[in-house]
Amino acid sequence: MLKPVAMEFLPPRDIKPLGWLKRQLEIQAKGLSGNLDKMWPDIRDSRWVGGDREGWERVPYWLDGFIPLAYLLDDKDMQSRAKKYMDAILSRQQEDGWICPCAPEERWGYDMWALILMAKVMMVYAECSGDERIVPALTAALRNFNSHIDSRTLFNWGAARWFEALIPIFWLYEKTGDEWLLDLAHKLRVQGIDYQTLFEHYRDMVPQRRWTFLTHVVNLSMCLKSGALISRLYGGDPSSFARLAIETLDRYHGMANGHFTGDECVSGDSPVQGTELCGVVEAMYSYEQLLSISGDPYWGDRLERLAFNALPATISEDMWTHQYDQMTNQVQCSRLPDGHVVFRTNSGESHLFGLEPNYGCCTANFNQAWPKFALSTYMRTPGGLASTIPVPSEVRIDIGGTEVKCKLETDYPFKNVLVYTIDTEKPVEFEFSIRIPAAAAAAYVDGAPAACGDFYRIKRVWSGQSRIEVKLDFQCSLVARPRGMACLWRGPLLYSLELCEEWKPFEYTRNGVERKFPYCDYELYTDSEWGFGFAGGEFEVHENEVSDIPFSHSKPPVVIETDMYPLDWKLEHGVCAVEPSSRKPTGPAVKKRFIPYGCARLRMTEMPEKCD
């Protein structure tokens, strides 16, 4: 018997994004995510649908985000295209349940990570579409998987990411009650990498220039949820492993934006070491699972830090291009010369914006981030309903046979006011819980103080329409970073020095894949001065309207002005030095503008806190 989760995800049909969140999803649908099946050979001509291109992780990665995006936006064309892919995949399932696109003689060498991914996609598609074919098809696929690994144990990516299979396994178990599914979950735990031991006896404090499965940033981002998932099978504290892992990664490899370095493997705490977009996306998904299983609001705060900062910062405003690696201090994105590639295990093109810089996995995978974030805005609790991520959205839910609608109007995280409207068709008693972000200095619910970093619970009989107003107090603060540096936070947003951005396009074809506008490659340059240190603690905050592009560089929703000292800071082979040559100012303090980190594709974020 599975242990219950603290809060249940709601079906996609029950959640409706609003405001800036809906606009962000619409931008995504018009960009790469909504068009990969039309122009990228690895999706358009994949072996999954009868073509001759990649037949492993890229189609499942893409569908895992494209499907919920189609249904959140109620886009009939996108839904039809998703169905076309699912029809093709289901029609090719073999009689014994094998569903992956390879010949029988290739099965023994096929990395089952692709099956794990496709099982998640099938679950997502069933939740979105209600397609009744999925439960029997997934049952057959997992039965085959169960017998397959008896004689061909997990290896490579399947062994590194075994716990991801628990998500569709548990979902199917709750549908069917088939006990063999729990036996499969146990078998995967035994065969997969033991991350608990990895972090209890951590040895990767010093980054190396070598690639390993155990230091790979995406594996580590994914594994954060492993302890919580397995706790549903064996019991125990669902948060304990993730707390240990994230505290360790923060200590040795933490970044200012709330993630940890990994270019492509963990890379220390330097502000010019990058982190992979897939790592950001998968850490978000881990935090969503942790929030649901544990009910611990801490994971909602971790999720917000990535969604509002690291995620938008590494994708272009139109969402047609992205980086493989982002850097905290990133003053230029140009091809790095041989012998001077700052990334330890990635190429010198990894921080360009483009269709598939370095590797194409992020091209397919990044599109799950915003849709699954939107699906995490509300969750069902044993006592009623929780607003888990306070961004503009609406939910309809049945509580005790009564339809309840909850609508949140807000520009959070850019503004500090949340207004909830709850409508019930008849009187009904339930508990409404609001997660109050820990990033706020103080919070008030209808004027009453509320604890930050916790849930504020209102239990009563709800009748007709009710309005709840939450006000958050955002304060500017300089947060210490290594090497005597600091970064500027206000509420849940990290801020970076505003730099002008020149985008230089490159159109070409490589390995049969065409890069052309709007999905060509771009190098980014600036002629803005960027070498500065903080001159004091006075900050002027200017709030603007949230534009049609929420994370806009030209129209940032918030600007902070503060005095900065100019410093001698070198540019070395296209990358700024880790720290300035001297902390002695080269001139008097000048007032400079800071914009949200997520609005800045070129940026200076970590700078000296004290200048002598």
How many angstroms separate the CA atoms of 269 and 326, rounded? 13
| pLDDT mean over 169-193 | 98
> How does pLDDT run across 107-116, given as a tens digit for each residue?
999 999 999 9
Q: Quote the pLDDT of residue 388.
A: 98
DSSP-derived secondary structure for 28-54: HHHSSTTTHHHH-HHHHTBGGGTSSB-
Whose CA is closest to 471, among 495, 434, 442?
442
How many angstroms separate the CA atoms of 69 and 33, rounded? 9
Q: Which amino acid is at 485?
A: M
- What's the distance, Cα to Cα, between the start and end of the chain in Å? 63
In 214-276, which residue ranges form alpha helices assigned H by DSSP?
Answer: 217-223, 226-234, 240-253
Task: Using a cut of 0.95, tell me whether the model's pTM lies above it.
Answer: yes
> How does pLDDT run across 216-226, given as a tens digit for each residue?
999 999 999 99
pLDDT greater than 90 at residue 518: yes
What tokens appear for 332 in the block? 């230029």
| pLDDT mean over 58-83 | 98
How many angstroms separate the CA atoms of 415 and 68, rounded? 27
pLDDT band at 599 (very low <50, low <70, confident <90, very high): very high
Q: Could you tell me which residues are beta bridge partners of residue 464? A: 424
Residue with tokens 């018997």: 1
> How does pLDDT run across 359-411, given as a tens digit for each residue?
999 999 999 999 999 999 999 999 999 999 999 999 999 999 999 999 999 99
% of the chain beyond a pLDDT of 90? 99
DSSP-derived letter for residue 308 is I
Whose CA is closest to 365, among 71, 36, 20, 25?
36
How many angstroms separate the CA atoms of 235 and 331, rounded? 47
How many angstroms separate the CA atoms of 35 and 209, rounded? 36
Q: Could you tell me which residues are beta bridge partners of residue 468? A: 420
Which domains does the chain possess?
A: 379-410+417-473 (2.60.420), 476-608 (no CATH)
CB-based burial, 25-44: b 16+ in 10 Å, e otherwise: bbbbbebbbbbbbeebbbbe
> How does pLDDT run across 322-351, given as a tens digit for each residue?
999 999 999 999 999 999 999 999 999 999
Please give the distance of CA 41 from its chain centroid, rounded to a whole number: 25
Q: Are 317 and 549 in contact (CB under 8 A)?
A: yes
**For residue 256, what are the contacts with CB-CB under 8 A and spacing of at least 6?**
271, 328, 479, 481, 487, 494, 605, 606
What tokens appear for 222 in the block? 């994914």
Phi, psi dihedral angles at 98 (to 5 degrees):
-60, 130
What tokens appear for 234 in the block? 């064996």
pLDDT greater than 90 at residue 594: yes
Angle, helix 226-234 to helix 180-191, in steps of 10 degrees = 130
Sign of the dihedral defined by the CA atoms of residues 506, 511, 514, 520, in that order: negative
pLDDT band at 610 (very low <50, low <70, confident <90, very high): confident
Q: Quote the pLDDT of residue 536.
A: 83
Q: Could you tell me which residues are beta bridge partners of residue 427? A: none
- CA-to-CA separations, 594 to 126, 586, 587, 602, in angstroms, rounded: 44, 21, 20, 12
How many angstroms separate the CA atoms of 571 and 57, rounded? 38
pLDDT greater than 90 at residue 1: no
Whose CA is closest to 185, among 160, 211, 163, 153?
163
Q: Are 413 and 41 in contact (CB under 8 A)?
A: no
How many angstroms separate the CA atoms of 437 and 454, rounded? 7
| pLDDT mean over 555-576 | 97
How many angstroms separate the CA atoms of 314 and 592, rounded? 23
**For residue 163, what are the contacts with CB-CB under 8 A and spacing of at least 6?**
188, 189, 192, 222, 223, 225, 226, 229, 230
How many angstroms separate the CA atoms of 519 and 31, rounded? 9
Q: Which amino acid is at 168?
A: P
